Structure 1
Amino acid sequence: MDNTEDFTLSDEEEEITADTVLKTLQTAWQNERLAPEILPHCNDMVECMLGQIQHMERNINKLPKTDLRACIHKMELSRIKFIICNYLKIRLNKIEKYCIPIINEEKQRIESGTNYLTPAEYKYAQEYLLNMESHLKSVVLNKVPSNMQAFDMGKMAVYPNLHSHVFLKAKESVNGVVLEDLYGDQDEEIDLEEGSQHILQYKPIADLVKNGKVHLI
């Protein structure tokens, strides 16, 4: 029984296999888990994989319940579903934690057409911020003196720590990565060889993660 099929991504009009989609989604999930900031969404890959899940479920239902292949394919389905659910959950957790800076940055990205969030995620972020602000005004601030009720929502912003260290592997050679010296002016420039592994601050390699030249491990 063949559980794979080809997909066509609307933006690129390029046929890719289900195995390629899954591998891409696994990398996106791993990067999202390990990156301190929210990364550009992979909604096309999620949608493709959801379609593949339906295809696999139809094929599994055609097999006898005693067929060992059905058990194996169900285990694989559970693994794929976990990756998708956990990937989306991690993104929502980041949206809730870093809601204010994410919304502010996303407004600029939308204008330039480089948005990181899906429309649904952006709507969720806006609603979450409104609910949080409403809660503070109606529950918290009502209990303090009137001269202390004014507040700036922006001051409550929590930002991801882009200077945290991450473990990465170079998928291709990259020259001239500048490592910022946080305690002086002794910046260092290094080259990443294909297949090499490093522990570095996230900020200098953030763009390399997003364009797929390195991935987090």
Structure 2
Amino acid sequence: MEVINDLRTMDGDSDTALSDEELVTAEKVLAALEEAWLNEKFSPELLQHRTDLVDCMMEQISQMEENLNRLNKTDFRVVVHRMELDRIRYVITSYLRIRLEKIELFTAHILEEDSKRNSDDSYLSPAEFRFATDFLASVESHFRQLALRHMPTNMQNCDKAKMSVKPNISSFVFLRSKQNVSGVVVEGDVENRDEEIDLEEGSQHIMQYKTVQELVKSGQIQLI
């Protein structure tokens, strides 16, 4: 986050500096976006979209670009800060790309689950929803043209439930507890019963995603 901190001190002209309010906002937005990116990267399922953070960070990048353009081009710090801006752009691009890959893989399942939620709780952004519905329609159309139309009439039904691919929430993930969490139930195997454990703030663990699924979504747990 050095670029956000240092841009305010790289030029003597106060007009080229970010205000204190903008500085705090940029730092918080970037930290939240990086956390959302890591959670999305390591979570087997699609999490709720944070396009609000993406849009806000893109606005911050535009402002920081304007500040950099006003500075002396021979100042080595400008190069360093441009590298940091590229890193922020990478986080944004990677976050959006990971979500699109999940949408393409679990399209039918994601749309089915999202249909059970109200618009405020939707995991898909409006743009992602349009992409998912268009993508699923294209896949179904291609499947019908390629295979179903050549089959007997009684076998031409396209059952979305059977075609649906679901994320493996039983897969294991690395995590760090952001706060003290008590009463986490770890599912046992055939020989062992379920176990209840407490997670200390800052402690790191590896366990099945379904065990901490809701804790990740509530922000108590960070995937790493």
Query: TM-score scaled to structure 2, two decimals?
Result: 0.87
Task: Give the unaligned 5+ runs of structure 2.
Answer: 1-6, 9-16
Give 1:158's aligned residue.
Answer: 165
User: How many residue pairs are counted as aligned between the two chains?
Assistant: 209
Distance 1:57 1:196 in 2: 38
Q: Is the 8 A contact 1:168 1:215 kept in 2?
A: yes
Change in Cα spacing, 1:4 to 1:144, as seen in structure 2 (3 Å) is farther
Q: Report the counterpart of residue 113 of structure 2 in structure 1.
A: 105
**Partners in 2 of 1:4 and 1:115 — Cα distance?**
34
**1:108 is paired with a residue of what secondary structure?**
coil
Write out per-residue CA displacement over residues 23-79 of structure 1, whole angstroms, 9 at most, x where no aligned residue.
110011001000000111111111110001100111111123222121011101100
Large movers: runs of 4+ above 3 Å: 3-7, 142-148, 182-185
Aligned to 2:124: 117
Query: Offset of 1:16 from its aligned partner?
Result: 4.9
Counterpart for residue 60 of structure 2: 52
Aligned partner (choices 74, 82, 98) of residue 90 of structure 2: 82
Q: Give distance in 2, aligned partners of 1:213 and 1:16.
A: 22
Q: Which amino acid aligns with 1:39?
A: L
Distance between the aligned counterparts of 1:92 and 1:49, measured in 2? Answer: 19
**CA displacement at 1:4 relative to structure 2:** 4.5
Q: 2:46 aligns with which of 26, 30, 38?
A: 38
Q: State the identity as a percent.
A: 47
- Cα distance change of structure 1 residues 191 and 4 upon mapping to structure 2, 3 Å threshold: farther
Distance 2:79 2:24 in 1: 27
The structure where strand makes up a greater share of residues is: 1
Does the 8 Å contact 1:4/1:52 carry over to 2? no
Asked if the contact 1:53/1:77 (under 8 Å) is kept, the reply is yes
Name 2:210's counterpart in structure 1: 203
Aligned to 1:12: none
